[in-house]
Structure 1
């Protein structure tokens, strides 16, 4: 007897032929699943379609689109045992890369068909689901500048070019960062709060590997003093992402926490799982093991933190 599954498909994601992509997905999954296909539109997003599927008692929900689609669908599954399958067809596909999910349609379908499920952490940021990361400042400006036309034409290179453009501005802001046991004030260019992040999400990798099932958020604070320092720091963060060793550089701080609140002056734009959601302040809480995903297993790394090398940091331990 075939298993029942709902496929939530974003027809405008990525650079490929969406009709061909859908036909390919169905050819792999329909022999094993009784597959109901739902399409996202401008009026109806993945969250609404996933909520309907949950109400209908579906045991497996598969999201096919970019990170925004996967994040929206995942939000409806938090705290349930419904298995989430991800077939990524977006520009960055950061969620799949972070969790080791293959980035081709056939291999992603194979993961769903024969792979085991794993409980991973999720976050809630200003009442919105967070499966990847929230970026404040530099990253948000970079994402906003890389418009749909540029992403369709250049793919991931659109983000790289936008990042170089934003680096020329080198905008700083004052941030107050509050966790359960710390209060930090710092002049920063960017703050990234990550639940999961692939190596390509460079600004998230101050810590020694972002861990997606440790019950903690990974916070990286980027505060170089010059443009040259910012470029050098970016390369160091890239190395950290590759070798999973913590960055040892002036102007980079990091910590891990289950809860964080960030207020900035002036208010800064915020990008959440690839989508601009507004401006600071933001409050993020980690929900341990909140999502059940078809994904290969991955080991853990012991948490670390480093804050004492940031210029202008004031740390107050709460009683």
Structure 2
């Protein structure tokens, strides 16, 4: 590349001047220039834009700026001269909602606002982005670090065009910029036009751009890179994924994690975001997404939000993904494995991107969707005692506090129970849990083997009455820590599998279903085998072997 030769020659010249300069401070300056240009040359020769350490918000660390001051000053002077003598405005409208331009700075803020631009795609590696302005004026911002006169990688281009498409779907006006709006940004914008309309040729896309911005052009290397990606069939907008987020789950985790989640998913999917409100729940939004033709629908929230979304997807040819933002996040542990307990969001994104699916059972509890567990007694009291405020502030300790209170009371429930087609029988217990799926952390559901979400059966676990809370605590310890063979022979722990169950009480009682509290005098639950396709990181077929 011609410009790299200039950087190398400049570095050699500065090094020679360092050696022969009789003045110490001049030698230091020349050495600084030489080191800076050698580093820049290395970045270009190795195609390593990450050398500039440009962050997601567009900022470059101060120590990097100091190292590259000689190079950055030269680039800035050249770009200032080029912009002042440029024949075109700083940015121009290429298509509906799409703008192409030079590097954005504070002097362009009013122009951005006047054109209702509210999203910025920065394709530079060597300059600070509009980071402070983007945050203060609420611009959506994405940086794809690409060196001048070079091309983005296929992964970068996929991320960029899907991010662009998402912004346009949300009705935003977007400006794509590099240093001068002539090369890198032109390549990205042309790639998006080609992905959106596969019937276009590269010449068609370039003609459309150049008809507005006459200085736009691609060098032979950039043109070859674009041709290779297009001819390889990799230049396309990916599967349509709708992400349904509960903004209040986990005390507002969505706003904190949103940018990272979208950055991960935009690498592979065409993402549409919908947020629940008090009036519009996840089921309503999932039905909208089905009508829009979504191929994957991701529920982003707690177990309640996931159940709402799943309710719209049973027996549909659409895949459900889940990203945990709640407190317990039990279903994610079942579907993603126990790594999701440590790094829940990263693990969930990995599972969604990997694309492995399984058809799992669902259940109906009094006409409501049930994915995890229904319960009366200890589990219900534990959930009832943990309100939204307690969960947001105390996390899972809020549940433990409720469980401790329930054990202390040691109240028993008396009712009739009917297992599938068997005769009804009387049962007295302080705790009964009916599980379609439950991780090990749902301790009160572990009366037998770990519940299998693909076996078409419900796992029923209940405790026998004890005459004191201390003895009941020992029963719970047996349930949590006892091996399977010990629990099978225990007098205080009972377990049964059945495809359906009905409970009959003399009066209305409170019961929990997937973390939500309801009340009724009769509770009927029936499995619906293999009725929901989900993205999973676990091989569920092993559970049936």
Q: Give TM-score scaled by structure 1 length.
A: 0.89
From 55, 76, 98, give the equivalent of 2:291.
55
Given the alignment of the two structures, is residue 265 of structure 1 paired with residue 501 of structure 2, yes or no?
Answer: no
Q: Aligned ranges for residues 67-82 of structure 1 at < 5 Å?
A: 67-82=303-318
Q: Secondary structure at the match of 1:120?
A: strand
The equivalent of 2:530 in structure 1 is 289
From 105, 108, 112, give the equivalent of 2:352.
112
C-alpha deviation, 1:50, in angstroms: 0.9
The equivalent of 2:434 in structure 1 is 193
Q: Is the 8 A contact 2:437 2:453 kept in 1?
A: yes
Q: Is the 8 A contact 1:79 1:291 kept in 2?
A: yes
Measured at CA, do residues 133 and 94 of structure 1 come closer, stay the same or move farther in structure 2, by a change above 3 Å?
A: same
Deviations 1:60-95 (A, max 9, x none): 000010000111111111111211111001100000
Greater CA drift, 221-230 or 32-41: 221-230
Q: Secondary structure at the match of 1:263?
A: strand
From 201, 204, 214, give the equivalent of 2:445.
204
Number of residue-to-residue matches in the alignment: 300
Q: Distance in 1 between matches of 2:509 and 2:471?
A: 22
C-alpha deviation, 1:212, in angstroms: 0.7
The equivalent of 2:465 in structure 1 is 224
Deviations 1:100-157 (A, max 9, x none): 3435222211110113100111101111100001011221121111111111111001
Given the alignment of the two structures, is residue 100 of structure 1 paired with residue 341 of structure 2, yes or no?
Answer: no
Q: Secondary structure at the match of 1:108?
A: helix
Q: Distance in 2 between matches of 1:276 and 1:217?
A: 20
Higher helix share: 2
Q: Is the 8 A contact 2:245 2:276 kept in 1?
A: yes
Q: Distance in 2 between matches of 1:284 and 1:172?
A: 21
Q: Distance in 2 between matches of 1:301 and 1:4?
A: 32
From 38, 42, 57, give the equivalent of 2:274.
38
Given the alignment of the two structures, is residue 151 of structure 1 paired with residue 387 of structure 2, yes or no?
Answer: no
Q: Is the 8 A contact 2:360 2:531 kept in 1?
A: yes
Q: Provide structure 2 residue ranges, at least 5 long, that are not aligned to the other structure.
A: 1-235
The equivalent of 1:308 in structure 2 is none
Q: Distance in 2 between matches of 1:280 and 1:270?
A: 10
Q: Secondary structure at the match of 1:250?
A: coil
C-alpha deviation, 1:11, in angstroms: 0.7
Q: Distance in 1 between matches of 2:481 and 2:287?
A: 40
C-alpha deviation, 1:53, in angstroms: 1.3
Deviations 1:149-191 (A, max 9, x none): 1111110011001111111111112121112232221111111
Q: Aligned ranges for residues 288-307 of structure 1 at < 5 Å?
A: 288-295=529-536, 296-298=538-540, 299-300=542-543
The equivalent of 2:407 in structure 1 is 167
Q: Is the 8 A contact 1:4 1:33 kept in 2?
A: yes
Task: Using CA pairs under 8 Å that are at least 6 residues apart, name the structure with larger relative contact order, 1 or 2.
Answer: 1
Q: Distance in 1 between matches of 2:301 and 2:484?
A: 28
Given the alignment of the two structures, is residue 139 of structure 1 paired with residue 375 of structure 2, yes or no?
Answer: no
Q: Secondary structure at the match of 2:379?
A: helix
Q: Distance in 2 between matches of 1:194 and 1:55?
A: 32
Q: Distance in 2 between matches of 1:270 and 1:17?
A: 28
Q: Is the 8 A contact 1:173 1:265 kept in 2?
A: no
Higher strand share: 1
Q: Secondary structure at the match of 1:281?
A: strand
Measured at CA, do residues 244 and 26 of structure 1 come closer, stay the same or move farther in structure 2, by a change above 3 Å?
A: farther
Greater CA drift, 171-180 or 151-160: 171-180
Over the aligned positions, Cα root-mean-square deviation in angstroms equals 1.7
Q: Give TM-score scaled by structure 2 length.
A: 0.53
Q: Secondary structure at the match of 1:218?
A: strand
Given the alignment of the two structures, is residue 237 of structure 1 paired with residue 479 of structure 2, yes or no?
Answer: yes
Q: Distance in 1 between matches of 2:485 and 2:288?
A: 42
Given the alignment of the two structures, is residue 252 of structure 1 paired with residue 488 of structure 2, yes or no?
Answer: no
Q: Distance in 2 between matches of 1:225 and 1:194?
A: 23
Given the alignment of the two structures, is residue 11 of structure 1 paired with residue 247 of structure 2, yes or no?
Answer: yes
Q: Secondary structure at the match of 1:6?
A: strand
